[in-house]
Structure 1
Amino acid sequence: MVWGTEPIYGHFGIDLTGPNGGVVRIDDIEIEDVTAVFHRDLLSRVDVRDFGALGDGSTDDSAAFEAADAAAGGRRVLVPEGVYYLGDSVTMESPVIFEGTVTMPDDRTLALAKDFHLPAYIDAFGNEELAFKKAFQALVNDGNHESLDMGGRAVTITAPVDMQAAVATRTEYAVRRTIRNGQFYVSGGPAWDPDVVTSQASYSASDSKVLSNVVNVANIPVGALVTGNGVGREVYVKAKNVATQEVTLSSALFDAEGTQTYTFTRFKYILDFSGFDKLTRFTIADVDFLCNGHASGVMLARAGLIFHARDTFFTRPRDRAITSIGTGCQGMLVDRCQFLSREGSELAQDRVSLVLNANANDVKLRNNRATQFRHFAVLAGANSVVSGNHFFQGDSASAGIRLAGIVLTRTYCSTSIVGNYVDNCTIEWSNEHEARPDFTVGFSFSALSITDNVFLSSEVAPWFSYLVIKPHGQDHFIGGLTVTGNKFRSINGVIDRVDTVDTSYAGLDMSKGKNILFTGNTYHAITTPVYSPLVMTHSQNTEAGTWLVDTDGQLPFGGRARSVDAVVMKGAIRNGANVAQYTVPYVNTERGGDGSAVHLNWEQAVRGEVSVTIRMD
């Protein structure tokens, strides 16, 4: 209620207009030299009861609400105490004061055109969780608003919110919409327990994203994480067909040909968009997801463009912060978000929660901070940009194990990783989402740029490396890699090198490779720095016609010395008679047992010192 307190003097009259058009004149009201206590709302609002609303919880008051709204003429509409059943969708063009509450079917919408913010819906429905669903429903179904302002409210969520079911009327949406400025607080309970199903199914690389002959396929939930032999990380159920006993996967499986038993684990998310076939240009901004170790954060739609999360906190998600089960991550933007793990006290290798994954192309992860998850990002698409992030995955163990911060699962990834703080974790490059992982044609491991990052490790085992290539098939090679301007540093322990090939499934063919640039980096507490091109000095103290120049493991990933760009004499080259010689050598590359050395062949036996520029490509 709003009361006036300013002084009013003199005489005045009031015309009161009733719902049936009658006019009552009250003349000659005198207020003299006092502060008026005057209920202005009495003159500037209409009451839904005056238009037939009963508020008994069962009678349909939809028509009364619309009649009151039509008569308001810019004034506010009052909904007095009571429960008002609205059997149909209602749009209120006037401001509304809710002293009572409304109830309506799930598939009917209440659109508050002049009061479109979450606090108004909380007043209307009397329940924060239901109010959020109905406000989101109005956001999507009513074209008058581009964003839902949560008004800074903290909304307690007791069960996953099926966002498509909340909308009820659409499975696709392509108009820009935003949820902003609020908090979701998860209260816990069995509603958040993951659903786990095991089932036998068959897989063929010829239909690389389908499981066939799936036993009890009806029991497998869409959005479930798939695990089993030959299944890469972050493979999800995108769809299922009960009639044909088929499950559609988000990514291919690298070594699962035949029939086996799979496990399907369906995590529970605060906001679950997986019921949408396609959702485009949707933004979550300035929202705090307090998962409290019970819930995951957001599951994206099965398809769509440019989902955007910005300036948002995901605090203690149980399993995942952001999950894509299809191509709803195409062009995804994640900017200036904080991801805080529930597993900070766990050893790195024992953690199970992830920040995010993406299956489609053109993902941008910028200026985010993530602490102590198993992985920061698993990226299966191409053309991604990862810049300005700090992801930390250390623990307190001495000689501790460190896992991947970023996992790239496409050989030709066309990705830039620039200006990040890569803290106690690795960048891992694999092809675990390829149905036929052996190299046959194409560019193999190519088009990756790692530039101007800070790499730091502490208390790690000597064999730890910051950059790991993990082929899942035979005959792969490096077809394009740039690693420049990075700062590599280990503290509280020296590590052997910054780069390695994980040969768990296969190695790299080092007799191939091109466009490899590994230069301008700095190394601290690293036993063997690596370079390509590698410029090294060789001193030959005794005369020989052939000089063996060994790269001593300084070519990246244990590469072969495949070419020599330059041989520069550092002073006179002298023969056994100490006479300067003015000839130059010819070069034999890929010498030594592993091909990591070169031979300099002279016209005669000589000694001296040279600078040699050697490449692995």
Structure 2
Amino acid sequence: MNKAITDGVLLMPPAFADGLNVWSSGDGTPGTATYQNAANAAFVPADQDFGGCLELQKTSNTTRVRYMGETPLLPGCYLRVTARIKAVAGSLPSVQIAGYPARASGQPLADVDTAADSVALTTYGEVVEVSAIIGAGNRPGVDLVWGSRAVYGHFGIDLTGPNGGIVRIDDIIIEDVTSVFLRDLLAVVDVRDFGALGDGTTDDSDAFDAANAAANGRTILVPEGVFRLEKDVAFEEQVKFEGTISMPTDKMLLLRKSFDLPTYIEAFGDEVLAFKKAFQALLNSSDHESLDLCGRRIAVFEPIDMQAAVPNRNQFNTRRVIRNGQFEAQGDNWNTQTVSSQATYSSSNGRTLTNVTNIANVPVGAHVTGNGVGREIYVRSKNVGAGTIELNAPPFDADGTQNYTFRRFDYLIDLSGFSKLSKFNMSNIEFQCNGKCSGIMLAPAGPTFELQECFISRPKDRGITSIGGGCQGILIDRCQFLSSEEAENVADRTSIGFNVNSNDAKIRDCRATQFRHFMLLAGQNHLIKGNHFFQGDAVADGFRTAGIVLQDNYTASVVTGNYIDNCFVEWTNERDPTPGFTNGFSFSSFSLTDNVFLSGDVAPWFSYLVVKPHGTGHFLNGVTVTGNRFRSINGNIDRAERVDTSFADLDHSRNRSVWYKGNSYHNVREHAENPLVVAHSQGTNTRTWTIGTDKKLPFEGFCQFVDSVMLTGDLRNNSNQRRYEAPVGRGRIGSDDDQFSLEFSEDMRGSVRATVRMDKD
């Protein structure tokens, strides 16, 4: 580092031969006396030791020689002032380097040393060299520490000691010696000093390792150039990249004290490659549990195959986090691969398609459609030799041979190459799909994938896709799913927020806009809490789709505290390969509590909770629907709940443990309850009172039992005598089994309130 060379800064004062009018006998500031025509000074053109030099007689206690030019003191620079002098006659003085430290205003800087150590002249004719280093920093070897306030100086020498002596002084030298301090000043180790060439072809791995070993707390500098690394390289200290790195996919760059995406971008010069190499390091080092994207936006032009970036691992089971950035899909290299193949399915063969034609072209992770195939069925794996495909779930009615369509969507982040990925977390990231691609495909196995405070914006087909068990215990918290189909009518939408195949999902405090479905949940024990999702359009009496689809009849799940807007909860058993009820719990263990349901401009048959059996014999078992607010605007709806009988109805005679109370209804014609309290007044005397429930039992179920009867008016017989009698209550009266009867010992009239149930318990 030399400012005279690199920046053209003028440091060297003129030779004495150029004139003594710029050499002051004072402090060097403008207006001070010079040695031009001075009585005690003269220029000697041909000294045997110096050539041209200044001959000076010491006439005062401190005789000064100062260059009147303003020598700049640049931040971070260190100057060395050197003078060569000899005594030629008279008393022998002492000599020292000295200077005038000037502020920007020209005023002197106080409280700093202005002269270096003095050196005594002891012999006539002996050339003595004195020097001093001047700079801002108090570093070893710096003689005059002037700090950052001095912006220039007037430099030269002082003669002290006895007067009368005559000396000759060679031209004074001022030079930049910052390079002497560079290693300590910047605490930098340059890989070039250890043999790195940076020519793009020579393997510089050993030089990088040597620089790392020598750094010892100092920053490692990778200067301009392309440095090829054929081996794994780890830097234990901070590193600064001015040049870039190239290395094979399977080799790792571990930056243990500079582990963040911006540093990797500096290292590789390409955002996506940098992310891949940083992710590779994340899964191959125990030094960091997270990769900070530092708010960077990564322009992505094709799907990022996360496992291909880490070829030495096909599974990973330790917690890792990627956080704080954005992935944005750009360009046109996003395509859905579509393959049609004939295959055979048997419900006795679980999730396997056999005799698959064209199987080599069927991609793992493809979405599967065909007759009798439920929603969100995917290819989990395939065996080309055996001609078989493993699905993530069985179809409900696909026995036999038929043509299937396999569509493989492109994803910004594709984790499906891992056989298992556990405890993986992505936080504070926006996945900007721009309608070009989908968001995230999960690994086929591995528990507790976590998405926190993320945006999945405008996915073309899917926000998050699970093709297997990589969604086990998934946690999605405080995320937003923003549809690319907001302008489409509901019936024309195809995109889905996410799906789950396994148990124990926690979906909390999220927001989703106008997908066909927000979430499809197979498995059990899910907690859906505090979300807001809406799916409406401007079509009058419009069609609506489910926001939540529960795909297994035994769900053991809780949906609570959500704002469910212009969509509904659908509960089905479309993943049952033998969908008719033969044993088990049927549609059971479900709580729908304290949600806000709102719809507008919907058809009258729209409902907020829809049960859709895919086989006969099913019933409700352990269902709680309480504290919900059901409200329709711009038109009434018939009921808040119903059974979709497209495939089968419920067996209402077997319903049990259904608690349906404490809900509020606005513009809903039938206010369902169970237990249901029915008020009845019998105006004519009869022994058997037949009383209807006016379709107020949930799902228009059977009125099976009369739990209690309370008289609310006098009970009188034909003789107008008051009677005190408890009637016999019988359920399932009438052609629809939705009435009940009260039987008395004689003809009676009066008023009662009866509590009836549509379930057995």
Q: TM-score, normalised by structure 1?
A: 0.96
1:349: Cα distance to partner? 1.5
Which of residues 88, 93, 97 in structure 1 aligns to 2:240? 97
1:225-244 matched pairs, under 5 angstroms:
225-244=367-386
Name the SS for the 2:308 alignment partner. Answer: helix
Q: 1:560 is matched with which residue: 696, 699, 702?
A: 702
| 1:611–1:219 distance in 2 versus 1, CA, 3 Å | same
Shift of 1:193: 1.1
In structure 2, how many angstroms separate the alpha carbons of the residues matched to 1:143 and 1:244? 40
Alignment of structure 1 residues 82-231 onto 2, 5 Å: 82-189=225-332, 191-231=333-373
Corresponding position: 1:59 with 2:202 = yes
Which deviates further from its counterpart, 97-106 or 574-583? 574-583
Q: 2-side partners of 1:275 and 1:499: how far apart? A: 42
Matched residue SS, 1:579: coil
Over residues 562-594 of structure 1, what are the superposed CA-to-partner deviations in whole Å (9 max), with x where a residue is unaligned?
Answer: 111100000211122322112221122100001
Larger CA deviation: 43-52 vs 486-495:
43-52
Deviation at 1:94, TM superposition (A): 1.4
Provide the secondary structure at the position in 2 that maps to 1:480.
Answer: strand
CA contact (8 A) 1:359 1:381 kept: yes
Aligned 1:435-474 pairs, distance under 5 A? 435-474=577-616
- Residues in 2 aligned to 1:402 and 1:28: alpha-carbon distance in whole angstroms: 80
Whichever residue aligns with residue 268 of structure 1, its letter is D
* Contact 1:450-1:483 within 8 A present in 2 as well: yes
State the secondary structure of the residue aligned to 2:279: helix
Q: Which amino acid aligns with 1:218?
A: A
Deviations 1:324-355 (A, max 9, x none): 00000000000000111111111112111111
- Partner of 1:327, secondary structure, is coil
- 1: CA distance between counterparts of 2:245 and 2:738? 77
Give the fraction of aligned pairs with identical amino acids, expressed as a percent.
Answer: 53
State the secondary structure of the residue aligned to 1:539: strand
Q: Given that residues 205 and 257 in structure 1 are in contact (C-alpha distance below 8 angstroms), is that contact kept between their aligned partners in structure 2? A: yes
Out of 254, 258, 272, the position equivalent to 2:414 is: 272
Q: 1:465 to 1:3 in 2, by over 3 A?
A: farther
DSSP-derived class of the 2:150 partner: strand
Match of 1:47 among 163, 187, 190: 190
Task: Say whether 1:542 aligns with 2:676.
Answer: no
1:138 counterpart letter in structure 2 = A
| SS class of match (1:321) | strand
Map Cα deviations across residues 271-306 of structure 1 (whole Å, 9 max, x no partner): 100000000000000001111111111110010010
- Whether 2:622 is the aligned partner of 1:506: answer no
Q: Deviations over 1:140-171 (max 9, x none)?
A: 01111000000110110111000000111101
Which amino acid letter does the alignment assign opposite residue 50 of structure 1?
A: D
Q: Which of 416, 420, 425 is matched with 2:567 structurally?
A: 425
Residue-by-residue CA offset, 1:504-541 (whole Å, 9 max, x unaligned): 11111011111000001000100011000000101111
Q: Is the 2:133–2:144 contact (alpha carbons within 8 Å) kept by the matching residues of 1? A: no
Q: What corresponds to 2:95 in structure 1?
A: none
Pairs aligned (count)? 606
Determine the C-alpha separation between the residues in 2 that align with 1:232 and 1:78.
57
SS in 1 for 2:192: helix
1:484/1:519 contact within 8 Å kept = yes
**Structure 2 counterpart of 1:142, which letter?**
S
Deviation (angstroms), 1:479:
1.4
Partners of 2:433 and 2:402 in 1: how far apart? 34
Counterpart secondary structure, 2:583: coil
1:188 deviates by 3.1
Partners of 1:198 and 1:42 lie apart in 2 by 66
Q: What amino acid is the match of 2:283?
A: V
Instruction: Give the structure 2 partner of residue 78 of structure 1.
Output: 221
Amino acid at match of 2:191: V
- Decide which of 693, 714, 717 is 1:575's aligned counterpart: 717
Where structure 1 has 5 or more consecutive residues not aligned to the other structure, the ranges are: 15-24
Distance 1:202 1:234 in 2: 19
Equivalent residue number for residue 399 of structure 1? 541
Q: Who is 1:22 aligned against?
A: none
* Rounded Cα–Cα distance in structure 1 between residues aligned with 2:620 and 2:284: 50
Q: Aligned equivalents of 2:589 and 2:484: distance in 1?
A: 35
Deviation of residue 26 (structure 1)? 10
Measured on the aligned residues, the alpha-carbon RMSD in Å equals 1.9
* Maintained 8 Å contact 2:690/2:741: yes
- Matched residue of 1:587: which SS? strand
Once the 2 structures are TM-superposed, how far is the Cα of residue 34 of structure 1 from its aligned partner? 2.1
Partner in structure 1 of residue 212 of structure 2 = 69
1:296 aligns with 2:438: yes
The TM-score with structure 2 as length reference comes to: 0.78
Bigger radius of gyration: 2
Q: CA deviation at 1:41?
A: 5.8
Number of the residue aligned with 2:475: 333
Cα drift, residue 9 of structure 1: 6.1
Are 2:673 and 1:531 aligned? yes
1:455-485 per-residue CA deviation (whole Å, 9 max, x = no partner) reads 1100101000001000011111111210001
Whether contact under 8 Å (1:13, 1:26) holds in the other structure is no
Pick one of 465, 484, 490 that aligns with 2:626: 484
- What's the counterpart of residue 257 of structure 1? 399
Distance in 1 separating the partners of 2:351 and 2:446: 19
2:460 corresponds, among 295, 299, 318, to: 318
What is the rounded CA distance, in whole Å, between the counterparts of 2:189 and 2:311 in structure 1?
A: 31
Corresponding residue number in structure 1 for 2:150: 34
Q: Tell me if structure 2 keeps the 8 A contact 1:163–1:275.
A: yes
Shift of 1:544: 1.0
8 Å Cα contact 2:629/2:665 also seen in 1:
yes
Distance 2:409 2:734 in 1: 53
User: Equivalents in 1 of 2:327, 2:528: separation in Å?
Assistant: 27
Residue 386 of structure 2 is aligned to residue 386 of structure 1: no
Once the two structures are superposed, residues 195-254 of structure 1 have per-residue CA deviations (whole angstroms, 9 ceiling, x without a partner) of 111100000111111111100111011111000000000011000111101111000110
